Amino acid sequence: MLGVGTGAPAAGVRAVTREDREALAVLLAVEGLGPMTLGRLVDAAGSPVGVLELARHSKAIDLLVDASRPSGDGERAMPADVAVRIVESLRSGDRTLREIERLHLSLVVPDDREYPRRLLAIEVPPPGLFVRGSLEALAADHVVGVVGTRHPSPSGRRIASRIGAALVRAGATVVSGLAVGIDGAAHAAVVAEGGRTVAFIGGGHARLYPTAHDRLADAIVEKGGAVVSEYAPFTEPSRGTFPQRNRLISGASDAVVVVEAGARSGALVTASWALEQGRECFVVPGPIDAPTAAGCNGFLRDWHDLAKIVSGIPQLLDDLGLAAEAGLPVLQAPDPTPQSGTAIVSSRVKLPSASSVLRNSEPAERSVAEAIVHGAVTADELVAVTRLSIGAVLGALTRLESRGLVRAIHGRYEPVGPLAGVDPMAA
């Protein structure tokens, strides 16, 4: 009856019964019951169903507290009020199950084949993931997290879009946190490319945050990606849930790219998790006087031995080992002996040029689009650069917007979709 249980068992692993899945979903909704304690309870009771059996007992509270006790250590048993809430969940559990069904969520557990293998390797893998969509994309050979501030500069947004588009073109899966700003730009660029991306959210599915991204979430699922939460549907996103969620973004990825981060940005938490989990960590550097780059530059300074600099998108793909595998056109290697100090560009990946994206555009459209790729953001600048009349510029903008190449935000125009992935330096 429930959507719970679509996960196929991994080979050689015992099948998880639907009853167990439902019991686990109910237990995951218990406030204050963390993955460690839950793990001990399940071990002690034999199964999630067993835990709920304990909760039906007349001395349920004592039994549960005892079961949660780590062997030989009497001090770290769970508090009695959590046990009380487990007992209460026998009654409230139905609501959670109904919501799971209504939102078409599936509960994926570590024993399932589709449980992301990279997550199994982190310190505390979530005992269950509530998934909307499909986790298949996380089984790709390359999974890269792209994170950053919720208040990006137009340039940061553009870079996030370009990285997202370039990664998906190179065959990698992009993981992020669905937040406004950099996260959203990265997800949206992938969706615009028709690619798959996975968003780990910091609250329950029924409390989707930020609400402004509900359509983005729909689009991610529609394109074969997923929106994933380790929290039960009604869990409110809070100050504490986001940093926890961040460990999943890095944990599900091979590498994390931080695009822009202020001095205290949560993206830095993700970057730290990445280093702790042994993932690669790439950071886009920025001007030393830009607040949106303070966190990035600081992180590069503090972790200069571990964190890597993103010096360009082709270079990033190269460093990730994506270029060769994706079968992208490889540029002729430049002369190996640098002459008169010219740097060797190790770029082997070629991003599409503006002219290839704009192949079918008429001249006004093309010159407006090129001006935008080169950094013109306001109508004033477009008029100045293209020397077209304001009316012609506005008409061209509408056509580019209809084609999904440009969008307007707060009176500024920026490239999206295929145009966002364009290399401004390419001829």
Using rule CB under 8 A, residue 384 touches other proteins = yes
- What's the min distance (Å) between Cβ of 372 and other proteins? 14
Using rule CB under 8 A, residue 363 touches other proteins = no
Q: Quick one: which segment of 32-40, 198-206, 299-307, 396-404 binds other proteins (CB under 8 A)?
A: 396-404
Using rule CB under 8 A, residue 180 touches other proteins = yes
Q: Quick one: which segment of 35-43, 166-174, 210-218, 247-255 binds other proteins (CB under 8 A)?
A: 210-218
If the CB atoms of residues 289 and 335 are measured against other proteins, the closer one turns out to be 289
- What's the min distance (Å) between Cβ of 374 and other proteins? 13
Q: Quick one: which segment of 35-43, 44-52, 125-133, 212-220 binds other proteins (CB under 8 A)?
A: 212-220
If the CB atoms of residues 95 and 412 are measured against other proteins, the closer one turns out to be 412
The residue within the footprint of other proteins, chosen from 74, 240, 278, 391 (CB under 8 A), is 391
Per rule CB under 8 A, count of chain residues that contact other proteins: 50
382 Cβ contact list (under 8 Å, min separation 6):
368, 371, 372, 376, 388, 393, 397, 413
115-154 residues in contact with other proteins (CB under 8 A) are 150-153
What does the per-residue mask of binding to other proteins show for 251-290, with x meaning CB under 8 A? ----------------------------------------
93 Cβ contact list (under 8 Å, min separation 6):
22, 25, 26, 29
287-346 residues in contact with other proteins (CB under 8 A) are 291-292
- What's the min distance (Å) between Cβ of 271 and other proteins? 20
Using rule CB under 8 A, residue 360 touches other proteins = no
The residue within the footprint of other proteins, chosen from 213, 245, 247, 308 (CB under 8 A), is 213
**Which one, of 363, 369, 360, lies nearest residue 422 by Cα?**
369
If the CB atoms of residues 350 and 407 are measured against other proteins, the closer one turns out to be 407
Q: Would you tell me which residues interact with other proteins (CB under 8 A)?
A: 150-153, 180, 183-185, 187-188, 191-192, 210-213, 215-216, 219, 291-292, 377-381, 383-385, 390-399, 401-402, 404, 407-412, 416-417
